Amino acid sequence: MDTTRRSLLTALLAGGLNPELLALGLSADGFASDAPELAPFRGLDGEGLDTASAIVEGRLPTALRGRYFRNGPGLMQRADQRYRHWFDGDGFMQAWTLGDGRASHRGRFVQTDKFRAEQQAGRFLLPAFGTAINAERPVRGPDSLNVANTSVLLQGDRLYALWEGGSAHELDPATLATRGVKTWSAELRGMPFSAHPKVEADGTVWNFGTANGRLAVYQIDAAGSVRRHAVLDVGAPAMLHDFVVSQRHLVFLLAPITMDMAAVRAGASMVDAMGWNPAGPTRVLVIDKADFSRQRIFEMPAALVFHFGNAWDDGRMLRLDYVESVPLPQFNVAAEQIMRGQRTAREVSMPRVLEIDLQTGRLRVAARDEAVEFPVVDPRVVAQRHRFVWYPTAVDTGARWGFNGLMRLNIETGARERFSFGADTVVEEHVLVARPGSTKEGEGWLVGMGYDIKRQRSFLSVFDAMALAAGPVARAWLPYWVPYGFHGRFYAT
Ligand SMILES: [Fe+2]
């Protein structure tokens, strides 16, 4: 084990049971909520779910054929112990199969080493990102703690469940059975492969991973072979979730997150050891795609960013859009509140467009004030000039938690189109699916999931991506609810 790995291990290791749950006076299962929209945060018990034929409301387009994979934290509690942070939950992979106007659904927990051991023991045995738990099993590296809960990538017959802090887990795309940890090449064994790979129209995959301040960057071809990689000493923060790719550049926003290593060694979770320097800056790292050693750093005011839409550049101007989150510690406070069944403060994340003049070094940020997250773009425009970004959004939700609508924003004109499901629905990420035979950006469907609070059922909804205001063209209803997920991808068949 090299010293980098050992340091990361130290950072991930946490000891000492935290009595905070008991002190909070929660119910026996640690989840006491009178906010019905938070019910899916109770999580599942580790078993799979299947629906051979979902009930379809409206008409699923016959040309919409394929598989929609979606990942998220699915198990939140074992015995009397509950994870504290939304990001801790063990990965629950879902697959919707659409075609001929029909929809079926399958959900399986990713059988990570951690999950299998804990499922057998009936209790948690290892620390999580936001929950200090004594390690009762050997921690040999980040993958000993991997929960595979964040996103997905399909290459041929290989489906990957992705997690920011460790390796991808390979799954069978038909059965969702777990095949094991993915090693891209011998020298990259165990190096984190983050949950937000960018896939260009020709199938080229760009991704990154961070370990102990270093940043690994990957270029992988459509067949799954690593073409190039590098490990860069850039002082990467302890939490770096996403990045963005333009024609010529890889762009990272390195937030001013601090990490109290003494607290980690004393048993604090990663979340509890994290701090925030509001004086900033957030560093903008721009890496030349053709030569990873060519890097530039710009600075902007402190900003916490989880997700990007897309980027493009013409060699002189680099433009990208992202969603600015609430800073730390507020973000983590909210992610812990919902795990206890408590509504969060009304601070929200909002759209931004950043323009960088690569010749003068001047930065300009355009801000909007809609509450959004989980931005997506048309997969045909990744790393190319784009106009449209789609997001879940909140439309007059009042005190209620979560998004209830969808928004399409034209980032060039500022024009937006929205749809609201009203008070009783929580809307999750929706992805853009190109209509077969179409070529124009936005021609296709917006496909994603949501939760009906009154019916206590989850659904898949399908919109005409350029006519959101007309409402969903179809919804496919499950006979059960599933936990709220993070990210998905659609693969046409
Ligand atoms: Fe994400």
Tell me the pLDDT tens digit for each residue of 445-490: 999 999 999 999 999 999 999 999 999 999 999 999 999 999 999 9
The reported pLDDT for the residue numbered 25 is: 39
Q: From the CA of 307, how far away is ligand 1's center (Å)?
A: 6
Residue 47: partners with Cβ closer than 8 Å, 6 or more residues away: 109
Select from 64, 88, 92, 61 the least CA-distant residue to 77.
Answer: 88
Query: With bands split at pLDDT 50, 70 and 90, how would you rate the model's confidence at 3?
Result: very low
Res. 27 pLDDT band, cuts 50 70 90: low
- Cβ atoms within 10 Å of 223's Cβ, excluding its own: 8
Distance from the alpha carbon of residue 384 to the mean position of ligand 1, in angstroms: 21
Q: What is the spatial distance between Cα 432 and Cα 408, in angstroms, rounded to a whole number? A: 11
Ligand 1 center to 267 CA (angstroms): 27
C-alpha of residue 308 to centroid of ligand 1, in Å: 9
**DSSP string of 357-382?**
ETTT--EEEEE----B---B--GGGT
Ligand 1 centroid–CA 22 distance in Å is 31
Question: Are 153 and 489 contacting, i.e. CB atoms less than 8 angstroms apart?
Answer: yes
Where are the chain's structural domains?
3-492
Predicted pLDDT of residue 39: 96
Asked if the bond preceding 278 is cis, omega within 30° of 0, the reply is: no
| Residue 413, CB-side half-sphere exposure with 13 Å CA sphere | 8
User: For residues 40 and 338, what is the distance between their CA atoms, to the nearest angstrom?
Assistant: 10
C-alpha 467 to ligand 1 mean position (Å): 26
Give distance in angstroms: CA of 23 to centre of ligand 1: 31
- For the domain bounded by 3-492, which CATH number is listed? 2.130.10.10
d(CA 482, ligand 1 centre) in Å: 18
Q: How far is the centre of ligand 1, averaged over its atoms, from the C-alpha of 315 (Å)? A: 28
Which pair of structure tokens corresponds to residue 137?
């099993």
Q: Model confidence over 111-134: pLDDT tens digits?
A: 999 999 999 999 999 999 999 999
Q: How remote is the CA of residue 375 from the centroid of ligand 1, in Å?
A: 10
The chain-wide mean pLDDT, for the chain, equals 93
* Rounded distance from Cα 100 to ligand 1 centre (Å): 31
Q: How many angstroms does the Cα of residue 230 sit away from the middle of ligand 1?
A: 23
258-286 pLDDT per residue, tens: 999 899 888 899 999 999 999 999 999 99
**Cα–ligand 1 centroid distance for 195 (angstroms):** 7
Tokens encoding 17: 């049971």
* For the chain, the helix, strand and coil percentages under 3-state DSSP, each to the nearest 5: 15, 40, 45
Give residue 347's pLDDT band: very low, low, confident or very high (50, 70, 90). confident
pTM score, two decimals?
A: 0.93
Residue with tokens 């969702």: 176
DSSP-assigned beta bridge partners for residue 92: 72, 109
